Chain A
Amino acid sequence: MSADDQVLVGRSITKRFGGLVALNDVSIEVPKRSIVGLVGPNGAGKSTLFGCLSGLTRPEGGSVMLNGRDVTRTKPQKRARLGMARTFQQPELFTGLTVREHIVLAHRVRFERRRLWSDMVGPRSIMKPPASETEAVDAIIELLEIERLASMPVTALPLGSTRLVEVARALACAPDVLLLDEPLSGLDVNESEALARALVKVVTEAERDLSLLLVEHDVATVLAISKKIYVLDFGQLIASGTPDEIRSSDIVRAAYLGDDAVSETAAD
């Protein structure tokens, strides 16, 4: 596969916390319009890798390419504008805003950036928002089935719902690649299935050009929806490949997956 087909590439990323090597020479590629899984036991370095890719954490070595452009030294807010969005394992929501406002803000930052400043002096805050915005925001709310929550302040939500809000906010940025850090944890079985379906749908939808990099402990789901999977352990990339390859990999089995998990997923 040529470099043009990759929306996000991390090359030889190394990150240390004092003596601890959280990431050791990790390389990862996310092709366009696809779902890529990233799995590994607790403390493997998955969230740290997200930090390095999104620019919030500065790695000691390695580089990051976004849409063929070197963004290694680029700030997170610039990377966001260039098409990267992410969610957080510990939700990082805005305590004063409702669910809908989260999506609206993300939409405006992406598509009507000027309003960040011009609204301060203009009367637009009491005017009706433009139809295109309402449409886009409603579409995301519908996709994630959170109509019920839309007018709620986020401080009133249970953990599972806050994950949905994180995903909704990230989708509203209309990114090319979206990094999801354990979006399913805290959701019940039904919600979890619904979100997985929605994620598959946004990637296959024709009008979006979206890829997902998905960190998830629910390995069955990851194996089911990902095109390619990376396995991290103690900061090392120990395996990568298609779901089938991962299922049958002995290293992965030994390092991470219980035998049960493997046979279960192989069965379905």
Chain B
Amino acid sequence: MVQYIIAGLVLGGIYAISSSGLVVTYESSGILNFAFGSIAFFIARLYYFLNIQHNMGITVSAVLSLVVAAPALGILLYFALFRFLRLSSSLVKVVATLGLSVALPAVATTLFGNISILVAPGLAPQPVHVFMVAGVPITMDQVIVYISVILTVVVGGLVLRFTEVGLRVRAMVDSPAMTSLSGTNPVRVSVGVWAVSTFFAGLAGILAAPIIGLDSQHFTLLVAAAFAAVVAARLRSIPIAVMVSFAMGIATSLIQYYLPSSSVWTSRMITAVPFLFIAIFLVYNLILRRDLSDSTKVGSALDAAIEPHGQGVLESSEAAVLDASMGFIARYSGPIVVAIIAMVLPFLMSGVWLTLLVQAYALGIVFLAITLVTGEGGMIWLCQITFAGIGGLWTAQLATDYHWPVLLAVLAGGLIALPVGLLVGFLTIRLGGLYVALITLTFALLMESLYFTQGRFSNGGLGVNVLRPSFATSDRAFAYVCLFVFILVALFVVNLRRSTTGMALDAVRSSEPGARTLGISVVQMKIVVAGLAALLAGIGGGMLVVAQTAAQPVNYSTFLGVVWLAVVVSIGIRSSIAALVAGITFLVFPQLVTTYLPTAWSQIPVILFGLGAIGVAKFPQGTVEQNGEKFRRILLKQAKKRSDKKELALTSPQGEAT
């Protein structure tokens, strides 16, 4: 028992380092670093690379990875990414850091080798020394964790509270412009904060590796727990974050103590711990009706005034002026061209490519759900893959085990996902964007480990097979079924965007006070969109399962969902065409890489997907919009030239006459 509590305190300590690192960076930069886990993994992997793969000593490896590489990575990331994010919207911040979290593990695999690591050593020399304290064994690794926790939490807290440095960091929170007026260089402070933050991430990673294993999937769970603590701390309070962290660590240990270690429920309960804490927090806040907004407007009016307007805003307004002055054909030329290409493609392709194309069209439907909920509704939901999973897995159940007609089963799958979407919406809609992102992420993890792991879905690892409808069994025929459904859904989304509903959604997205005082209920609008998106994602998931002719629960990992969002956002979150292009890119591009490039390049697609999402920091509209605009501008110029010529032709004879 005591031993379990000691282990729980160790785990809690690692959570505490992570969550306080997250809170400090959020406090001082306004950015909640969703890539924290990936940075932790990256540094831990580097440590393993130096220590084990290259046989460097523990001290040398630790110094190189923690004291040299980690801060260097933080500084690099600050200059390459984080400094652009300060005044960006929540969505851009979340997506850019998520993009980083997607890219970094892939970079690590590419740099340090793709090997399976069974045991990762910690900072203690091997074999790990075991102390006996009052009859209870404590390992050297555990001692090191305790010391690290005390150093980070206590010393860090004191520094932040009582010293000059802390004062500067806290001043930055309010206004970098003011800080710079008072003679402190805000860039230097920010660089320092990010260097320290990546150091904490690296420390947490190296300490956690021996306990949870050196695997980026497991690191996601570590961060889920840290996120739960951050949510409970309302993004700001380090003491609460630390306390909740320890509570979760101990709760996890007690589950291990009381439940038989062989039971599947033990591991399921353990993964559910972060979500349980979040659920308690949510219910508590619902009851108290506390207002949980994450004042995303960081910085003072002065900051906003001296910061140049985001390029995106100006460009999009230019585009809107263009749009307004353009004819129907010019405006819809892009979508029409893409639709024609999409119709011709199934004829041009065959074999594995055609198989992928069918799935790409089905995936496009799921991506439309992301377009709807995030692009139109402005909600940063990271669990769209969960709804796709519910829809897909239930489609297979109904079609195969209950012998429903398969397309009816697809629809039913969507209808099963719908109330789940409404429920998540109901629980989160009053919260600020960051909370929503955090909670939907942990929700996805919970569903992945608790619900999708059921025997009825996994079927002993084989998954459940699904037959395509009899009129469209070939890949080519079913590609058209998917494309038909995609176009139906896309038309619905486009119509919604242009309709009064779409205008009201724009209102809700850009200014809640403005929308409410106009008489629009923000909650109603958002709930309806959330439900619709879950329905569409469920249907898309169903179509995807029918396209793949099998439903495999492992296809719905939360991490994959994050990659989905990254791809959709980087290609264009507000465009239906982009959803289709994203579907094709996501499935066909990796196949291109594996077919034509050496295996060392296998991580390139993931890295590029991640980088694409990071690019959102600079081009918030995504590539399709960006290029679409260029394209339209060229068309417009041509049209102008033509009309200018006409005018010339009309006026010049007159000029001669007079």
Size category, B interface: 35 or more
Query: Is B513 located at the chain interface by the 8 A CB criterion?
Result: yes
Quick check: is B501 within 8 A (CB to CB) of the other chain? Answer: yes
B residues 475-511 touching A (CB-CB < 8 Å): 492, 495-496, 498-504, 506-507, 509-511
Complex Cα gap A113–B495 (Å): 18
Among the 9-residue stretches B63-71, B164-172, B242-250, B311-319, the one with 4 or more Cβ atoms under 8 Å from chain A is: B311-319
The answer for the CA separation of A104 and B504 in the assembled complex, in Å, is: 11
Cβ–Cβ contact B496 & A151, under 8 A: no
Contact call A56/B516, Cβ cutoff below 8 A: yes
**B373 → chain A, closest Cβ, in Å?**
14
CB neighbours of A101 from chain B (8 A):
503
Q: Could you mark each residue 49-89 of chain A with 1 if its beta carbon is under 8 Å from any beta carbon of chain B, else 0? A: 00000111000000000000000000111111100111010
Chain B nearest CB from A268 CB (Å) reads 34
Q: Is the CB of A77 within 8 A of B514?
A: no
- Per the bound structure, the CA–CA distance linking A106 and B317 in Å amounts to 21
CA distance A57 to B320 in the complex (A): 34
Do residues B518 and A75 form an inter-chain contact, with CB atoms below 8 A?
Answer: no
Whether, in the assembled complex, A124 has its beta carbon less than 8 Å from a beta carbon of chain B, the answer is yes
Q: Does A98 contact B (CB under 8 A)?
A: yes
B117 contacts the other chain (CB 8 A)? no
Closest residue of chain A to B325, judged by CB?
A151
Are A155 and B514 in contact, with the CB atoms below 8 A?
no
Does any Cβ of B come within 8 Å of A267's Cβ?
no
Which residues on B sit within 8 Å (CB–CB) of A78? 519
Q: Which of B524-573 contact A (CB under 8 A)?
A: 525, 528
Contacts of B407 in A (CB 8 A): none
How would residues 151 to 185 of chain A score, 1 for a CB under 8 Å from any chain B CB and 0 otherwise?
11101100000000000010001000000000000
Report if A126 contacts B (CB, 8 A): yes
Q: Is A219 an interface residue (CB 8 A)?
A: no
Query: Which of B324, B496, B499, B516 interacts with A98 by CB under 8 Å?
Result: B324
Known pairs A94-B510, A96-B509, A105-B500; A151 contacts B518 (CB<8 A): no
Closest Cβ neighbor of B494 among chain A residues:
A125
Smallest CB separation, B307 vs chain A (Å): 15
> Which A-chain residue is minimally distant from B506 (CB atoms)?
A96
Q: Is the CB of A88 within 8 A of B513?
A: yes
Question: Which of chain B's residues have a CB closer than 8 A to the CB of A126?
Answer: 495, 498
Contact residue among B318, B501, B522 (Cβ-Cβ distance under 8 Å from A116):
B501
Contact assessment for A105 and B503 in the assembled complex, using a CB-CB cutoff below 8 Å: yes
- Asked if B510 contacts A96 (CB within 8 A), the reply is yes
Inter-chain contact B518/A105, CB cutoff 8 Å? yes
- Encode contact with B along A135-165: 1 for CB under 8 Å, 0 otherwise: 0000000000000000111011000000000
Determine the residue in chain A with the shortest Cβ distance to B323. Answer: A153
A54 touches B496 (CB 8 A): no
**B521 close to chain A: CB less than 8 A:** yes
Task: Give 1 or 0 for each of B319-358: 1 = CB within 8 Å of chain A CB.
Answer: 0110010000000000000000000000000000000000
Is the C-beta of A11 less than 8 angstroms from some C-beta in chain B? no
A124 and B499 contact, Cβ closer than 8 Å, known pairs A95-B313, A96-B510, A98-B320? yes
CA distance A92 to B324 in the complex (A): 23
Q: Is the interface of B mostly helix, strand, loop or mixed?
A: helix
A80 touches B516 (CB 8 A): yes
Please state if A125 and B500 are interface contacts (CB–CB under 8 Å): yes
Which residue from B314, B324, B521, B528 sits with its C-beta under 8 Å from A77?
A: B521
Chain B residue at minimum C-beta to C-beta distance from A82? B519
Let me know if B520 is at the binding interface, CB within 8 A: yes
Contact (Cβ within 8 A) B517 A156: no
Contact A88 B521 (CB under 8 A): no
Q: In the complex, what distance in Å separates the CA atom of A155 from the CA atom of B506?
A: 13
- A104 contacts across to B, CB distance below 8 A: 503
Answer yes or no: A97 CB below 8 A from chain B CBs.
yes
B519 touching A77 by the CB < 8 A rule? yes
CA distance A155 to B311 in the complex (A): 12
Q: Does A110 contact B (CB under 8 A)?
A: yes
Whole-angstrom CA separation of A86 from B514 in the bound complex: 9
CA distance A108 to B518 in the complex (A): 10
A117 at the interface (CB under 8 A from B): yes
Taking the closest CB of chain B, its distance from the CB of A132, in whole angstroms, is 15
Measured CB to CB, the closest approach of chain A to B469, in angstroms, equals 26
Contact A80 to B519, CB < 8 A, known contacts A94-B514, A96-B510: yes
> Is residue A194 within 8 Å, beta carbon to beta carbon, of the partner chain?
no
Known A-B contacts A104-B503, A120-B495, A155-B316; A81 and B510 likewise in contact (beta carbons under 8 Å): no
A126 to B495, CA, bound (A): 8
Q: Which of B498, B500, B514 contacts A88 (CB 8 A)?
A: B514
A152 touching B321, Cβ below 8 Å: yes
Q: For B511, what are the chain A residues with a Cβ–Cβ distance below 8 Å?
A: 92-94
B516 touches A77 (CB 8 A): yes
Question: Given A80-B519, A173-B519, A93 and B501 touching (CB < 8 A)?
Answer: no
| Chain B min CB distance to A214 (Å) | 16
Which residue in chain B gives the minimum CB-CB distance to A106?
B518
**C-alpha spacing A152/B320, complex, angstroms:** 8
Interface residue A119 (Cβ < 8 Å from any Cβ of B):
yes
- Could you tell me if A173 and B518 are in contact, using CB atoms closer than 8 angstroms? yes
Q: Does A109 contact B (CB under 8 A)?
A: yes
Q: Which residues on B sit within 8 Å (CB–CB) of A86? A: 517
> B507 touching A97 by the CB < 8 A rule?
yes
Q: Please state if A115 and B500 are interface contacts (CB–CB under 8 Å).
A: yes
B514 touches A120 (CB 8 A): no
Cα distance, A169 to B503, chains bound together (Å): 13
B516 with A76: CB separation less than 8 A = yes
- Min Cβ gap A42→B in Å is 13
21 contacts between A and B (CB under 8 A): A56-B516, A76-B513, A77-B516, A77-B520, A81-B519, A94-B506, A94-B509, A96-B509, A97-B506, A105-B507, A108-B500, A115-B499, A116-B525, A117-B501, A120-B496, A121-B495, A124-B500, A152-B321, A152-B324, A155-B316, A173-B519
Top 7 nearest A-B pairs (CB, nearest first) are A92-B514, A80-B519, A119-B499, A153-B320, A125-B499, A92-B511, A155-B317
